Amino acid sequence: MNIQDLEKLIKERRSIRQWKKQEVPDELLRKAVELATWAPNGGNYQGWRFIIVKKKEMIEKMASAVQSVADKIASWPEAMSWQEDVNRYQKNASFFRNAPACIGVFSGVYQSPMDKVLVARESFDREAKEILGFRRSAPTAIQSAAAAVATMLLVFHHMGLGAVWLVSPIQAKKEIEAILKVPPDMDLICLIAVGYPDESPQKGRKPVDQVLEFVY
């Protein structure tokens, strides 16, 4: 693959939120997850787990759980301060119920050797506690899962599929983990809804120089 093809692949991928009814073959889903596991990850620990859900009732159950938490949050008086945004968010909370497939991404806790030392000292050493706080502010397990998800989305796009990375379902973490019977040592990181795209959204990016700085 030359750099132009790679650039096209990266720039033409969009988050897709409307899908055709067409089923997604298991082999494509399996291949996308397999390629995602080649993403860089902390210590090559590979503490991630993926659950591919194709059962419509189960996807609907997860979507209803997310919607019901969104409805609850929107009903709280504090929501009045951001009414318009909250309403929009509430309206879109469970669109993924129409996805032909939904992938749950989970992660176990990853402790590097440094984390182990810091945890052993945090109760009596303020500096160790502070450094541990820095490490916890950008957890390796979540960064690793994110690398896998980003890879998977590109693979899906290359396959002619359309997917969206969904973190908002985390608000129904407890319900989703129960629906999918996830072991207690695994935490939901996100869902990925995927199918054959039935929309072609356009989205741009800020010019790179607005977000980039070189230091020589």
Ligand X SMILES: Cc1cc2nc3c(=O)[nH]c(=O)nc-3n(C[C@H](O)[C@H](O)[C@H](O)COP(=O)(O)O)c2cc1C
Residues that bind ligand X (CB under 6 A): 14-15, 17, 164-168, 203
Number of Cα atoms under 13 Å in the Cβ half of residue 48: 30
Among residues 133 and 201, whose Cβ is nearest to ligand X? 201
Q: What's the min distance (Å) between Cβ of 129 and ligand X?
A: 28
Angle between helices 140-158 and 26-36 (to 10 degrees): 140
Scan for tokens 């860089």, then name that residue.
Answer: 40
CA proximity to 179, closest of 100, 64, 49: 64
Q: What's the min distance (Å) between Cβ of 167 and ligand X?
A: 4
Q: What's the min distance (Å) between Cβ of 190 and ligand X?
A: 7
Among residues 111 and 143, whose Cβ is nearest to ligand X? 143
Cα distance from N-terminal residue to C-terminal residue, the chain: 31
User: Pairing relation of β-strands 187-195 and 162-166?
Assistant: antiparallel
190 phi and psi angles, rounded to 5 deg: -170, 170
Q: Please give the Cα distance from 17 to 165 (Å, whole number).
A: 10
CB nearest ligand X: which residue?
A: 168
Q: What's the min distance (Å) between Cβ of 199 and ligand X?
A: 11
Q: What's the min distance (Å) between Cβ of 127 and ligand X?
A: 31
Among residues 100 and 118, whose Cβ is nearest to ligand X? 100
Among residues 17 and 61, whose Cβ is nearest to ligand X? 17
Among residues 132 and 188, whose Cβ is nearest to ligand X? 188
Among residues 14 and 173, whose Cβ is nearest to ligand X? 14
Q: What's the min distance (Å) between Cβ of 135 and ligand X?
A: 20
Contact between 166 and 132 (Cβ < 8 Å): no
Torsion from C-alpha of 76, 64, 150, 134, nearest 10 degrees: 40
